[in-house]
Amino acid sequence: MQRDTGIRALEDHEGAFDFIVVGGGATGLGVAIEAASRGYDTLLLEMHDFAKATSSRSTKLVHGGVRYLQQGNISLVLEALKERGLLQENAPHLVHNLAFVVPNYDWWEGPFYGIGMKVYDMLAGRQNFGRSKHLSREETLKHLPTIEPKGLRGGVIYYDGQFDDARLAVNMAQTVVEQGGIALNYVKVTDLIKSDEGVVNGVVAVDQENDKEYRLHAKAVINATGIFTDSIRKMDDPNVRDTLRPSQGVHIVLDKSFLPGDSAIMVPKTDDGRVLFAIPWLNRIVVGTTDTEVDGPTMEPVPMQEELDFLIEHAGRYLVKDPTPDDVLSAFAGIRPLVTRPDAPAGDTSDISREHVLHISNNGLVTISGGKWTTYRKMAEDTIDQAATLADVDERPSVTKNLHIHGWHEHPEQFGDLSQYGSDAPGLKGLMRDRPELSEKLDKRLPIRKAMVVWGTRHEMARQVEDILARRTRSLLLNAKAAVDIAPEVAQLMAEELDHSQDWVDEQVNAFTELAQSYILTSETTQVKSTT
């Protein structure tokens, strides 16, 4: 997957596309795969990098949603559990089982949560990742050796899925291309094109790298821009009401020593009613999340002091070793695209949902919003079913239930620390064999090799240092300070691949260093964050 090839295909394209998909996060990529795999002529445009916003800042879970079970939303849990199983089958190099333990400190918690998890098992049916069961105090400590032992009565173990969100997004973009579509990052849609009758039939888009403008036509335009959904809707009709109800979720990343082993902690209800996770991920521990209303969407949300305090305090409450701000390797924030239906009464927030909302405007703009990573495929299937009728194209059945995502490999574990690359791992190994210097790690604190930088630039459409350090590798999330330290060498490797100047290198290092500051916790930065 190379951006120059995609740009040439865009410029050589004759006539209207069947579908133009705006947005390169989980939803947009899923919609583009759905359309291209059915044989429709498909173009996806992302204004920044794939999964730049919410889709790279999740809790890294592919799950049915225990919290939704508590809320009685059985239909959402059923759908998510089914999609969880399909995603593991179609991307086994990125999705795997994870054991979760709910520690019990009160006498009633064991029976209460045990029954709830049995319902979860039952709903999963054949897609079950493993059967839940009660654990004794000793068994709980075996799974969670650093859990707070004082007052611990036992636990309940259940199983869900875990994944790498940004890596999956990159592989999905590659899948779009493999299915015959065009997927481009750094191309921003600046306006919609309408027919003489006022029907949306295209977009105006600008290549962010050279300011070249394109006027592109389509039989249907699909707005899948997540937290920026309303900005595209207002290009269609400036008077529409906002549907987004943005909520910020923050995570902190700790060293693996805080929770050794392979099991995660799930606290179903903290003091203020939130669900809290402490999850092993890429040899780190991710603790989250918060749920804080914010004014509006932003590409780089910043953790607030009260959110960080909440996570550090509650991590300390359930772990033997109490983390401090200095122990936090990285802190990242994402904004959830919670939505109300566009046709809901003004001021009515009762319809805010974690489910997806599909809407077609009077002018024919298709908008898909809400939902979550786990259900992206079903959201995409629903969207193309509707959009195909609107576009008046031949109806074709969905094939994505059994469509392997790029990188699929039956036994990815055989590739060791390159397992997340799946079927691309031999290519990376070949690159290191041809150029042994590329096998070197860039920093002992991070699992990133020079070859990953070259590979991401050549084959994964990475265009900026941030693309490599934040999403192609997860260095920014695994250790933000270390990521800053290696930024100059990453920029130099990328410049050699992209034929960029030293000025570009310097600009990229400065930009990434500035970006990374909001991921680093110190006494100074937390004071800045609290006033942001």
Record the tokens describing residue 72, joined without a space.
């009685």
How many Å apart are CA 336 and CA 372, to the nearest integer? Answer: 9
Q: Is 253 part of any domain?
A: yes
Q: Are both 328 and 308 inside the same structural domain?
A: yes
Q: Are both 237 and 354 inside the same structural domain?
A: yes
Residue 336 class from Cβ within 10 Å (0-12 exposed, 13-18 middle, 19+ buried)?
buried
Q: Is 81 part of any domain?
A: no
Q: What's the confidence (pLDDT) of residue 268?
A: 83
Q: Is 59 part of any domain?
A: no
151 three-class SS:
coil
Record the tokens describing residue 354, joined without a space.
């974690």
Write the single-letter amino acid at 48.
H
Q: What's the confidence (pLDDT) of residue 350?
A: 38
Q: Are both 239 and 258 inside the same structural domain?
A: no
Q: What's the confidence (pLDDT) of residue 448?
A: 98
How many Å apart are CA 205 and CA 64, to the nearest integer? Answer: 37
Q: How confident is the model at residue 529 (pLDDT cuts 50, 70, 90)?
A: very low
Q: Are both 487 and 424 inside the same structural domain?
A: yes
Q: Are both 309 and 356 inside the same structural domain?
A: no
Q: What's the confidence (pLDDT) of residue 347?
A: 46
Last residue of a domain, one of 364, 382, 402: 402
How many Å apart are CA 512 and CA 532, to the nearest integer? Answer: 19
How many Å apart are CA 128 and CA 115, to the nearest integer? Answer: 16
What's the pTM? 0.94
Last residue of a domain, one of 402, 431, 448: 402
The total domain count for the chain is 3
Last residue of a domain, one of 279, 305, 336: 336
Torsion-angle region of 179 (φ positive above 0: left; ψ -120 to 50: alpha; else: beta): alpha
How many Å apart are CA 377 and CA 114, to the nearest integer? Answer: 30
Q: Do 52 and 251 form a contact (C-beta atoms < 8 A)? A: no
What are the pLDDT digits (tens) for 120-153? 676 666 666 677 789 999 999 999 999 999 999 9
Q: Are both 451 and 472 inside the same structural domain?
A: yes
Q: Are both 139 and 200 inside the same structural domain?
A: no
What are the pLDDT digits (tens) for 409-468? 999 999 999 999 999 999 999 999 999 999 999 999 999 999 999 999 999 999 999 999
In terms of DSSP bridges, do strands 330-336 and 292-293 run parallel, antiparallel, or are they unpaired?
Answer: unpaired
The C-alpha angle 332, 333, 339, rounded to 5 degrees, equals 155
Residue with tokens 């959201």, as numbered in its chain: 379
Q: How confident is the model at residue 226 (pLDDT cuts 50, 70, 90)?
A: very high
Q: Are both 353 and 326 inside the same structural domain?
A: no
Give the closest residue to 61 by CA, choosing from 94, 29, 28.
Answer: 94
Instruction: Give the CATH number, domain containing residue 359.
Output: 3.50.50.60
Q: Do 19 and 396 form a contact (C-beta atoms < 8 A)? A: no
How many Å apart are CA 167 and CA 179, to the nearest integer? Answer: 18
How many Å apart are CA 273 and CA 406, to the nearest integer? Answer: 39
How many Å apart are CA 347 and CA 208, to the nearest integer? Answer: 37
Q: What's the confidence (pLDDT) of residue 176?
A: 98
Q: Is 92 part of any domain?
A: no
Give the closest residue to 292 by CA, choosing from 332, 250, 247.
Answer: 247
Record the tokens describing residue 350, joined without a space.
């009762």
Q: Are both 498 and 388 inside the same structural domain?
A: no
| DSSP code at position 211 | -
Q: Do 452 and 428 form a contact (C-beta atoms < 8 A)? A: yes
Q: Are both 260 and 319 inside the same structural domain?
A: yes
Beta strand segments in 13-139, E: 17-22, 42-45, 61-62, 96-104, 133-135
Q: Are both 34 and 113 inside the same structural domain?
A: no
Containing structural domain, residue 252: 97-161+245-336
Instruction: Give the CATH number, domain containing residue 326.
Output: 3.30.9.10
Q: Are both 33 and 14 inside the same structural domain?
A: yes
